[in-house]
């Protein structure tokens, strides 16, 4: 098997992939208003989503009974994101239907590039666990009481009613609450912290391997390499048989210049992976890791 791996590495090293320059679509960065979304090209998805959504009448009637004087809302979204394009227009339609004051709503567009991946230029997202978009954060007297993450648990209006009426509500990606605490209190920077123990704390709330894997890559794009590697390690404890998780773990070690471990896990993943496209990506990183290991 090792001979096959090295042969494949040699093939990748001599293969060039032509890339065609594609003009990047316009996106919305930073603070914006609902009016900003009614302008081309954003109106193409905002107007149909907004005008065609009919909030449940009985739920709206209950929402109108809630005390909203002390409530403010932040809506983080990506104008490039399919989930945002679906949920943001609907959410704003709900707020319009219950006459929620626009001055109490803050809408923030986050980026999709490496420098501002799921971040805004003014960094209103800092410290708020904006790992998925859209994220709708509900505050009472300036203190967060809950949030809707990426998509509703039931429906946007029912989820919002549960939050505003103080009913039990657990948003999607509940693991992010734990992780945000570890990111902010320095847990991931402590070399003596057991990642196996951390994985045990998340075992009951992580739904699938993609939840933490995508978060790890988000942190990599944002330059938080140590933290990303910790996430990949935790995910490995939770899903040790996944070739995809193992390759991500190897990439995390590679980004943190631990070439010995990077090569080890990338080779394991390569032996298990059946996806030709994934194999090509693994080989590319493995080749670079082996070159750096020699130097």
Give the per-residue pLDDT at 273.
Answer: 86
Domain that holds residue 282: 2-7+176-294
Indicate whether 25 belongs to any domain.
no
Give, rounded to a whole angstrom, the gap between the first and last alpha carbons of the chain: 24
Indicate whether 16 belongs to any domain.
no
Indicate whether 22 belongs to any domain.
no
**End-of-domain residue from the set 120, 152, 172:** 172
At residue 20 the predicted structure's pLDDT band, cuts being 50, 70 and 90, is very low
Give the per-residue pLDDT at 195.
Answer: 95
**End-of-domain residue from the set 116, 147, 172:** 172
Percent of the chain clearing pLDDT 90 (strictly above):
76
Q: Report how far residue 20's alpha carbon sits from residue 145's, in angstroms, rounded to the nearest whole number.
A: 46
Indicate whether 82 belongs to any domain.
yes
- Helix (H/G/I), strand (E/B), else coil: 99: coil
> Residue 199: pLDDT above 50?
yes
Paired residues of 91 in beta bridges: none
Give the per-residue pLDDT at 276.
Answer: 87
> Residue 21: pLDDT above 60?
no
Give the per-residue pLDDT at 13.
Answer: 47
Task: Note whether 154 and 204 are same-domain residues.
Answer: no
Give the per-residue pLDDT at 26.
Answer: 87
Task: Note whether 199 and 248 are same-domain residues.
Answer: yes
Task: Note whether 151 and 207 are same-domain residues.
Answer: no
- C-alpha dihedral sign at 146, 148, 150, 152: positive
Helix, strand, coil percentages, rounded to 5, for the chain: 55, 10, 35
Task: Note whether 98 and 135 are same-domain residues.
Answer: yes
Give the CATH number for residue 273: 1.25.40.10
Task: Note whether 165 and 191 are same-domain residues.
Answer: no
Instruction: Please name which of 145, 183, 186, 182 lies closest in space to residue 162, comparing C-alpha atoms.
Output: 145
| pLDDT tens-digit readout, 253-280 | 999 999 999 999 999 999 998 888 889 9
Give the per-residue pLDDT at 241.
Answer: 95
Task: Note whether 259 and 208 are same-domain residues.
Answer: yes
Give the CATH number for residue 142: 3.40.30.10
Indicate whether 12 belongs to any domain.
no
Indicate whether 216 belongs to any domain.
yes
Give the per-residue pLDDT at 169.
Answer: 95
Indicate whether 13 belongs to any domain.
no
> Residue 47: pLDDT above 60?
yes
The number of angstroms, rounded, from the C-alpha of 3 to the middle of its chain's C-alpha atoms is 38
| pLDDT tens-digit readout, 54-95 | 999 999 999 999 999 999 999 999 999 999 999 999 999 999
**End-of-domain residue from the set 125, 142, 172:** 172
- Helix (H/G/I), strand (E/B), else coil: 139: strand
Of residues 129 and 68, more confidence is placed in 68
Give the per-residue pLDDT at 200.
Answer: 96
Q: Are 247 and 282 in contact (CB under 8 A)?
A: yes
Task: Note whether 144 and 251 are same-domain residues.
Answer: no
């Amino acid at each position: 098997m090792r001979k096959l791996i090295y042969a494949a590495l040699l093939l990748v090293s001599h293969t060039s992939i032509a890339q065609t320059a594609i003009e990047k679509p316009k996106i919305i960065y930073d603070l914006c208003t609902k009016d900003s979304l009614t302008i081309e090209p954003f109106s193409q998805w905002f107007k149909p989503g907004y005008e065609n959504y009919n909030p449940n009448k009985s739920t709206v009637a209950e929402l109108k009974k809630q005390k909203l004087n002390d409530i403010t809302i932040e809506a983080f979204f990506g104008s490039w994101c399919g989930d945002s394009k679906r949920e943001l227009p609907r959410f704003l339609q709900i707020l319009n239907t219950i006459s929620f004051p626009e001055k109490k709503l803050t809408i923030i567009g986050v980026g999709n590039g490496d420098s501002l991946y799921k971040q805004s230029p003014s960094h209103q997202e800092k410290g708020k666990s904006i790992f998925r978009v859209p994220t709708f954060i509900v505050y009472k007297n300036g203190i967060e009481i809950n949030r809707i993450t990426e998509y509703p648990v039931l429906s946007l209006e029912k989820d919002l009613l549960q939050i505003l009426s103080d009913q039990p509500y657990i948003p999607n990606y509940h693991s992010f609450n734990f992780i945000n605490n570890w990111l902010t209190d320095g847990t991931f920077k402590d070399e003596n912290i057991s990642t196996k123990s951390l994985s045990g704390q998340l075992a009951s709330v992580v739904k699938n391997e993609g939840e933490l894997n995508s978060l790890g890559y988000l942190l990599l794009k944002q330059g938080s390499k140590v933290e990303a590697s910790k996430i990949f390690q935790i995910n490995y404890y939770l899903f040790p048989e996944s070739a995809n998780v193992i390759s991500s773990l190897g990439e995390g070690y590679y980004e943190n210049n631990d070439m010995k471990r990077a090569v080890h896990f990338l080779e394991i993943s390569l032996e298990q992976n059946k996806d030709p496209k994934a194999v090509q990506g693994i080989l590319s990183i493995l080749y670079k890791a082996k070159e750096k290991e020699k130097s």
